[in-house]
A and B are shown apart, each in its own frame.
Chain A
Amino acid sequence: MNSMNSLNSTHAMSPSASAGMQGQVQGHVQCQGHSPWQLQATRIAAIREEAPGVRTYSLTFAPRGPRPSFRFAAGQFNMVSLPGIGEAAISITSDPESLSGIAHTVHAVGSVTRALARLEVGDELLLRGPYGVPWPLADLRDRDLVLVAGGLGLASLLSAIAFCMTHRGDYGRITVLSGAKTPVYLLATNHHHRWRDHGIDVHCIVTDPDPRWRGPVGLVSMLLDSLTIDPDATSLLCCGPEPMMIAVAEQANARGIAREQIFVSIERLMGCASGLCGLCQLGPFFVCRDGPVFSYDRIARWLAVPHL
């Protein structure tokens, strides 16, 4: 692994990786001279079962120890790469400022994510990244934040929540609204007490309750309905299924939050993650490069067209 071709050499840095601290990553940086496909090696340090088919993988950078040069911002993603199987875009769920490694929370739905689910602690996992435009947290200082997650969409918001806990004093009220189909798919419930300890409100809702469920039943947009907000001071970050994001964004906008202060993270099939392969297009955008995080004023028009 120490040869020129070693996968964890510093050349494996992605273009945006060098952009440094949270909030300063300005989308893509033109990058000359190295292959956009170059991989980094990580080791699976721990695996946690979150829900049926959903696992969180804690990764350290090979050979072991602190991550050497990998910097990301909350809301960015990696391409997780399984040779012989393929690659998949996966949000980075860990604290962007932690130096001990990174984490991915993955739902096994297809070929790559199912093959990933067969890996064990100690196995090598290749990836490339980080990619994409992150949540604009640095621009949202002193504002109230409402973070709205639908199902696994929470994965993309977890790193933002971790960042906000460290920088709690920089923000006003912070509220997390998490919705899922069934209670087991409400992810990261084990973290709720820590969030609350940091003055972050958490509210959950499910559409299909089980007998033990004591919380509200319905769509996550219902939680938003009953939330008291100061629309001028509030920014909303939303990640989940597209119809849910549109509904939440429209509702937030109707409640007086400006479209420029509503942010959504868009999912599209991704291949290169570098603006080269054309798979992730939405209207004029490459979601991998111009997103996945977009302010609603830029993306609403394109989201409104079915099958675009």
Chain B
Amino acid sequence: MLPCTPAADSLEWLARPALQALIDALTARGHRVVGPQVADGAVVYRDLADVNQLPAGWLDEQDGGHYRLRRDDAAGWFDHVVGPHSLKNFLFPPREPIQRLVREDGTWREEPAPQEQQPLAVIGVRACDLAALRVQDRVFLHGGHVDVAYQARREKLFVVAVNCRRAAATCFCHSMKCGPAATHSFDLALTEAGNRFAVEIGSERGREILSALGTAGLLTPCTADEADRVRTIPHDLERTMHARVAEPGVPRPRSLDTDGIRDLLYDNLEHPRWRVVADRCLSCANCTLVCPTCFCSSVEEVADLSGDDVTRERRWASCFTLAHSQMHSGAVHATVASRYRQWLTHKLAGWIDQFGTSGCTGCGRCITWCPVAIDLTEEVAMIRESAPP
């Protein structure tokens, strides 16, 4: 058989085990390869050397405050959906040195802060997280200031996306127009079908690496019919998601009516619902930590004993803490209600003013990982229902 040369607009078949060759090729090109793996009862991103580390045959059940993995031998390699980690954990790491200052003879000198140089490749990225990537690009690259460290990591990032075949009850990417089909921001996209993946090219780098797999005889061309069928998979799921209805005994499928949502929230900043949700909210900040778009940070000073060698470390911050708004006159967001309001209105309204996009992709993580099952789709619905005209 002739080696298959992939074209940008066609799909190629890659046998499932041959995904190992993609991992190897990315590793050989100097990437740190990361992919989903089962650890501590959840699917998380870990360094990936071997396809056998992937969560083949695992499905996740997600609901408000609930995440459980179960075996299903019929499940594919990527039929779990999103876990607590996202690309944010890598491109905007939870802690990062941003500056090192050394004092000699009463004068400070700036030393370059150590920076992670190795390019990253992530396998298994879902459409909602591609959307989150695009949102964080707006924050860190196209806001007021370019974040140089983010930019360096972002430019080297290699994304292998996966089209979802299944959604959790907490997923509402269809409402946010962020999924489930992977349509942008990837180098390669996989759609699982039987024992193989249909591979789509999203970038020149993706084409180059796929060509190498083709040269190694690992690809077979998709026929036009096959390609059409593969391409409908995420769109069929999207249609299913729009048609989902609540049924007794199973988690309620989420959706969010985004019509006029910015003004809805701005016009209801003093709605009584904020106090109702505050009675349940623990202000634990889990939702901001798992959210793939939250970008708040604060800087901690890490000094040696002499105080002459100081590293400034940027760490994730959360609007659920009092420190986030602490001033001499007291914390601005002094009440839990005001902190929940900050989170929700920033996410769904403020972001639109600041970055021209919603800050929510519908990934559902904040619902799943909330210890008391607070659900932003429900909170918005309650405000919408009882908003004064």
Count of A-B contacts with CB under 8 A?
138
Q: How far is the CA of A38 from the CA of B110 in the complex (A)?
A: 8
| Docked complex: B258-286 residues within 8 A CB-CB of A | 266, 269-270
| Docked complex: A29-83 residues within 8 A CB-CB of B | 30-39, 41, 62, 83
Given the known A-B contacts A31-B146, A41-B108, A278-B296, are A84 and B303 also in contact in the complex, defined by CB atoms under 8 Å?
A: yes
The listed residue (A28, A37, A110) touching B312 by CB distance below 8 A is: A37
State the Cβ distance, B355 to closest chain A Cβ, in Å.
10
**Contact status B103-A274, CB under 8 Å:** no
Q: How far is the CA of A39 from the CA of B98 in the complex (A)?
A: 12
Contact with A along B293-324 (1 / 0, CB 8 A): 00111110101000100101000010100001
The listed residue (B298, B328, B329) touching A271 by CB distance below 8 A is: B298
Q: How far is the CA of A33 from the CA of B149 in the complex (A)?
A: 10
Say if the beta carbon of B249 comes within 8 Å of chain A: no
**Contact status A268-B108, CB under 8 Å:** no
**Contact status A32-B146, CB under 8 Å:** yes
Contact with B along A285-307 (1 / 0, CB 8 A): 11001000000000000000111
Closest 9 CB pairs of A and B: A275-B144, A284-B353, A307-B338, A278-B296, A84-B303, A274-B145, A83-B310, A28-B144, A83-B101
Q: How far is the CA of A23 from the CA of B312 in the complex (A)?
A: 34
Say if the beta carbon of B325 comes within 8 Å of chain A: yes
Given the known A-B contacts A7-B110, A277-B317, A279-B324, are A305 and B297 also in contact in the complex, defined by CB atoms under 8 Å?
A: no
**Contact status A307-B334, CB under 8 Å:** yes
Q: Count contacts on A: residues with CB < 8 A to the other chain.
A: 52
State the Cβ distance, B210 to closest chain A Cβ, in Å.
32
What A residues does B353 contact at CB under 8 A? 284-285
Say if the beta carbon of B203 comes within 8 Å of chain A: no
Q: How far is the CA of A30 from the CA of B148 in the complex (A)?
A: 13
Say if the beta carbon of A267 comes within 8 Å of chain B: yes
Say if the beta carbon of B80 comes within 8 Å of chain A: no
**Contact status A37-B108, CB under 8 Å:** no
**Contact status A1-B110, CB under 8 Å:** no
**Contact status B106-A124, CB under 8 Å:** yes
Contact with A along B96-112 (1 / 0, CB 8 A): 00110101001111111
Sample of 13 more A-B contacts, CB < 8 Å, known A241-B329, A271-B297: A30-B146, A31-B145, A35-B148, A37-B99, A38-B110, A84-B310, A87-B299, A123-B106, A242-B329, A276-B147, A284-B350, A285-B353, A305-B269
Secondary structure call for the B interface: mixed
The listed residue (B298, B329, B350) touching A279 by CB distance below 8 A is: B298
Say if the beta carbon of B10 comes within 8 Å of chain A: no
**Contact status A110-B107, CB under 8 Å:** no
**Contact status A281-B350, CB under 8 Å:** yes
**Contact status A275-B145, CB under 8 Å:** yes
Q: How far is the CA of A32 from the CA of B144 in the complex (A)?
A: 10
| Docked complex: B196-210 residues within 8 A CB-CB of A | none
What A residues does B327 contact at CB under 8 A? 267-269
State the Cβ distance, A230 to closest chain B Cβ, in Å.
34
Say if the beta carbon of B195 comes within 8 Å of chain A: no
What A residues does B269 contact at CB under 8 A? 305, 308
